Structure 1
């Protein structure tokens, strides 16, 4: 008997709610996703066993049956064999996960994360029993739940966990409308490779696969790659991809800026057709001390306290020659901040790598209420966009929701159309578009603040845009004045180090 989407979501959320009280909602994902994944592979293994038995009957042997199974489940690791134990249940589950990972080293090593299942202070046994009882009420084998249904259920949980987690959600979840917009802009095609250097729960990679499949194209030839610094989140990403029936993927755990995991035979960062990410905004302590000699710093070393341009340069370095393109979510500060970032920004524009700046509505994200933007880079820009940058203002394309603003499907279509064509849709006044020449950007000292080039539609963003332009202008004047002053002091023989200015 199959189950409906609504029934599945209801039961999955009931399982999560079983933890409410003793467990912080921000930690629900740590326990619920491993249990969901275990229940799925266990129920599926039983279904595969029964299918093999139906096909071969008494002639079935271990060698024949192995061909029916996607994963190996050692004796005593099935859901029904473990969850009925009455003593030290949490510790038994932890041992079971280790046995399953060990039996499937190629695909499942480390996939269950590092939760302390035997720690009854963190996870009281009564909560664990309630969690098991909730999962007992739903079968997760192919006869009951399709991959599409299960994948949608997983996304439902991710969204709900993000809503429950508040600002912490930004570490693992990007609003799906932003993901859809990014994927729509990059247009992944069958046979291509797609890479997310800060992949979180894997949502952008899943959306890439889904878009190709929904377009009626062969999604099975796509290859997806990701790196994630957080162990639990990296595990969630791998489970997410498996549950969406995606097999050709590679998710590695680690710090992308300090230790990029994907390299070629010569030790350089590996390149991909599409590079897509929503990195942590303005990350401090990102590893600037290692970058002066790093080839990825081809336009300069970003400030030690702000890693935005480190992620940007890493992604561009990971962009395949000719076919490569990058779509990255960034705070507006990268458009106008001075110092080392201004020099990097100028370098990228002079190299004609930046294709577009797409302004997003305010209050879309869990981690911040400030508006963000999407920067699009291409190794080879089309002829009409060479030596120019396309600006798209999408700041007014939203509807207000409970705690955050939300973009509708129409909003996303309007912005994708504006990016693709360089023109607003017919009768659309809320998506201003303008192709700006290199010379005009140069005349503005390579400042990319959207409101310098087109009228910003949303009132909230307009106020911010005006403030940012005023700030950038005032800051530039101050820097110019300081330069004149320090030159005069140096000419007078005064030691500038007392002002914190290094001697040159």
Structure 2
């Protein structure tokens, strides 16, 4: 992305967040995200709708052999009649649906909201279908009415737009937000008078991603229930390469893995010699989420990006109410909550999903692993984020389950992550990559070799940088280094063990380590550069240097005491 576009997005982020953050004094962060994201959604769909209207207006006036929209002016008696005909034609719903643009009823259009929000409470807004006056009750009611009208006209959105009246926000606060968002355009981005090459969905997607990250920070511990750091999601997607097939996330949160899969296809389209829009038709996404508001948030996240999705009939517990019982996915990706204790039900005792051992009742880590394996296609692959304890714990059958997974040759790669990557937990984490076919199957079998009996370990704990005082992040080079290493090992081209970073191990190697999968045990220590100085000489030199420094420290200490004594102080 060019610097001007990055600058535009940065300024947009700062402006919108500064405005939205004013709500923090009035309501909990877990709630005001729904108000803000709801308003952003309304602004986006309205901007996209107006953009389509402008395109249609132009088409109505351009005569050509293949323009099915053309309205010849000579067929109308006057200019006013002609303009009225165009306005009437602009309200034909099919023109918008054919362009994959949400239909926005007049009551839900941004200009209507902005204009009506400042009217005195009780003002007549319009007539309803029965001819009765519709009066302004509050600004939050006006917004909820807009959301309801959009849901009625767009079946994809039915039941997923969160209403805001329940949060009882002051009218003035909402009017302030509306005015701020009114100065933002998702369809005509301009910076310094220069028109930028950014698509509306790109801008909206960026804003959504930024806000979810900020809300995760604001919410603290609970934020991680729906937000996974972008760099980790990107890393897993880059390693699994979901070009086509069914993608499943049983703990989807706001749908970050699906968004990244969509972006992955776009970014890699040219190098794979295919059309991104056509390729997306070969991807279908399935998800599940127990939190009702987060389930709606994920659905809205997909809808605004034009991603077809199946998130089940409702929000539901993945273990107790599987919304996709017959699904066998080509790619499964998830960041389930770590070390969940309160998950067990006696109805799960003989569950068909526990093929490799019954998970402990006090920790759901291996329940997530086996649930994902159950839903994995015979040639599928999966990546799951888990706490580091999953690599070595022998508590309550966990060691036996891990041993079975290794013996069945399901584990393909283990990646140890650095600390401080998450906003909501300091628990060290790792990524498990598993597959049911290490022979040469997978989705693109021609690019992979027979990897049976081999396991890749990557220690990425030294990668990344501190983006602020508390959070660490990966650079694009860090992500590429890990993903490229994985792919080179899979393909048998250009891979080599690197001390301290990666190691291709055998089953016997893992057996010697009692089936512990911690990468540090296998990759060893990073090789130190040899400076040519013999060890004995170096130790003698460093010891002498340390002795000199101790002596100098003692001298300085005595001098400070003398100086303080001269001033009448004793140390």
Instruction: Report Cα offsets for 1:269-306 as digits up to 9, x if no partner.
Output: x0111111111001122234232232111112211121
Alignment of 1:90-239 (within 5 A): 90-104=140-154, 106-113=155-162, 115=164, 117-120=165-168, 123-141=169-187, 146-189=200-243, 191-216=244-269, 217=274, 218=276, 219-221=279-281, 222-239=283-300
2:503 to 408, 429, 434: 434
Cα separation, partners in 2 of 1:334 and 1:390, compared to 1, 3 Å: same
Which 10-residue stretch deviates more, 220-229 or 300-309? 220-229
Which 10-residue stretch deviates more, 28-37 or 146-155? 146-155
**Count of matched residue positions in the alignment of Structure 1 and Structure 2:** 445
3-state SS of paired residue (1:320)? strand
> In the alignment, which residue of structure 2 is the partner of 1:251?
311
Q: Is the 8 A contact 1:356 1:375 kept in 2?
A: yes
Structure 1 Cα separation of the partners of residues 525 and 157 of structure 2: 48
Cα separation, partners in 2 of 1:66 and 1:305, compared to 1, 3 Å: same
> In the alignment, which residue of structure 2 is the partner of 1:393?
459
Cα separation, partners in 2 of 1:384 and 1:424, compared to 1, 3 Å: closer
3-state SS of paired residue (1:385)? coil
3-state SS of paired residue (1:273)? strand
Q: Is the 8 A contact 2:453 2:506 kept in 1?
A: yes
Structure 2 Cα separation of the partners of residues 234 and 241 of structure 1: 11
Q: Give the CA deviation at 1:237.
A: 2.0
Q: Give the CA deviation at 1:192.
A: 1.8
Alignment of 1:44-123 (within 5 A): 44-54=48-58, 55=60, 56=71, 58=85, 60-61=88-89, 64-69=92-97, 70-83=101-114, 84-85=116-117, 86-87=120-121, 88-104=138-154, 106-113=155-162, 115=164, 117-120=165-168, 123=169
2:437 to 366, 380, 383: 380
Q: Is the 8 A contact 2:44 2:204 kept in 1?
A: no
Instruction: Report Cα offsets for 1:320-375 as digits up to 9, x if no partner.
Output: 112x0001111111111122211211121111111111111111111222321110
Structure 2 Cα separation of the partners of residues 76 and 63 of structure 1: 13
Q: Is the 8 A contact 1:395 1:456 kept in 2?
A: no
Structure 2 Cα separation of the partners of residues 240 and 35 of structure 1: 13
Q: Is the 8 A contact 1:34 1:112 kept in 2?
A: yes
1:360 correspondence with 2:417: yes
1:33 to 28, 31, 37: 37
1:412 correspondence with 2:479: yes
Which 10-residue stretch deviates more, 198-207 or 372-381? 198-207
> In the alignment, which residue of structure 1 is the partner of 2:46?
42
1:294 correspondence with 2:325: no
> In the alignment, which residue of structure 2 is the partner of 1:341?
398
Cα separation, partners in 2 of 1:136 and 1:52, compared to 1, 3 Å: same
TM-score (norm 1): 0.81
Structure 1 Cα separation of the partners of residues 20 and 361 of structure 2: 40
Structure 2 Cα separation of the partners of residues 65 and 143 of structure 1: 26
3-state SS of paired residue (1:90)? helix
Which 10-residue stretch deviates more, 437-446 or 178-187? 437-446
Structure 2 Cα separation of the partners of residues 326 and 426 of structure 1: 22
Structure 1 Cα separation of the partners of residues 310 and 362 of structure 2: 30
3-state SS of paired residue (2:431)? strand
Structure 1 Cα separation of the partners of residues 250 and 150 of structure 2: 28
Q: Which has the larger radius of gyration?
A: 2
Which 10-residue stretch deviates more, 327-336 or 47-56? 47-56
Structure 2 Cα separation of the partners of residues 433 and 427 of structure 1: 8
Q: Is the 8 A contact 1:198 1:277 kept in 2?
A: yes
> In the alignment, which residue of structure 1 is the partner of 2:532?
none
1:242 to 293, 303, 316: 303
Instruction: Report Cα offsets for 1:183-230 as digits up to 9, x if no partner.
Output: 1110111x3221111111211111111111111243422222222222
Which 10-residue stretch deviates more, 223-232 or 4-13? 4-13
Q: Give the CA deviation at 1:23.
A: 2.5
> In the alignment, which residue of structure 2 is the partner of 1:480?
none
Structure 2 Cα separation of the partners of residues 173 and 441 of structure 1: 33
1:443 correspondence with 2:443: no
Q: Is the 8 A contact 2:52 2:96 kept in 1?
A: yes
Q: Which runs of 5+ in 1 are unaligned?
A: 265-269, 459-504
3-state SS of paired residue (1:20)? helix
Cα separation, partners in 2 of 1:107 and 1:427, compared to 1, 3 Å: same
2:372 to 315, 318, 324: 315
Instruction: Report Cα offsets for 1:413-457 as digits up to 9, x if no partner.
Output: 221122223499999968521122222323333222333323266
